[in-house]
Amino acid sequence: MPPRPSIAYVFTTFPKPTETFLQREVAGLLGLGVELRLYSMWGGGGEFQGRPVTTFKKWKLLTLLWWLPWLWVCHPRVIGELMRGVVRRLPPSALNLFENLLGLGFALVYAAHFRRERPAHIHAVWGGGPAAAAWLLWRIDGHAYSAAGHAYDLYQDGGDGWLREKLFTALFIHTSTEMGRRTLLLKGLEDARIHVIRRGLGEWPALRPLRPVRTPLRLLCVARLVPKKGLEHQLRIYAALRSAGIAFEARLAGAGPLRAELEKLAGKLGVGSDVIFLGHVPQSGVAELRAWADVLLHTGVVAPDGDRDGLPNVIPEAMAAGVLVVTSPAAATTEAITDGVTGRVIAPDRPEQWVECLRELRDDDVLAERLRRAARAWVEVNFNASHNASRLADLYRLHLPRAGG
Residue 62: pLDDT band (50, 70, 90) is: confident
pLDDT confidence of 322, banded at 50, 70, 90? very high
Interstrand relation of 46-48 and 51-55 (parallel, antiparallel or unpaired): antiparallel
- Global pTM reads 0.91
Element (H, E) at 18: none
- In this prediction, residue 404 carries a pLDDT of 41
Contacts of 28 (CB under 8 A, 6+ apart): 200, 202, 385, 386, 388, 389, 390, 392
Query: How does pLDDT run across 356-400, given as a tens digit for each residue?
Result: 999 999 999 999 999 999 999 999 999 999 999 999 999 999 988
Percent of all residues in the chain with a pLDDT value above 90, rounded to a whole number = 86
The sign of the CA dihedral 384, 385, 388, 393 is: negative
Query: pLDDT band for position 73 (50/70/90)?
Result: confident
What CA–CA distance (Å, rounded) separates 231 from 297? 10
Give pLDDT tens digits for 269-280: 999 999 999 999
Q: What average pLDDT score do residues 252-266 get?
A: 98
Q: Above 50 in pLDDT, residue 188?
A: yes
Going by pLDDT thresholds of 50, 70 and 90, the confidence category of residue 84 is: confident
pLDDT tier for residue 86 given thresholds of 50, 70 and 90: confident
CATH fold match for the domains 6-201+384-404 and 217-382: yes
Q: How confident is the model at residue 311 (pLDDT cuts 50, 70, 90)?
A: very high
- Averaged pLDDT, 193-222: 95
User: For all residues of the chain together, what is the average pLDDT?
Assistant: 94
Q: Residue 307 and residue 301: Cα distance in Å, rounded?
A: 9
Q: Where are the domains of the chain?
A: 6-201+384-404, 217-382
Euclidean distance between CA atoms 237 and 247, whole angstroms: 13
d(CA 313, CA 308): 14
Q: What is the mean pLDDT of residues 219-242?
A: 98
DSSP 56-96: --GGGGGGHHHHHHHHHHH-HHHHHHHHHHHHHS--S-HHH
Assign domain 6-201+384-404 to a CATH class: alpha beta
pLDDT at 88 over 80: no
pLDDT exceeds 90 at position 187? yes
Mean pLDDT lowest among 78-82, 201-205, 208-212, 319-323: 78-82
pLDDT at res. 1: 41
| CATH number for domain 217-382, candidates 3.40.50.2000, 3.40.50.300, 3.40.50.970, 3.30.1490.100 | 3.40.50.2000
Q: What is the mean pLDDT of residues 284-301?
A: 98
- Banded model confidence at residue 22, pLDDT cuts 50, 70, 90: very high
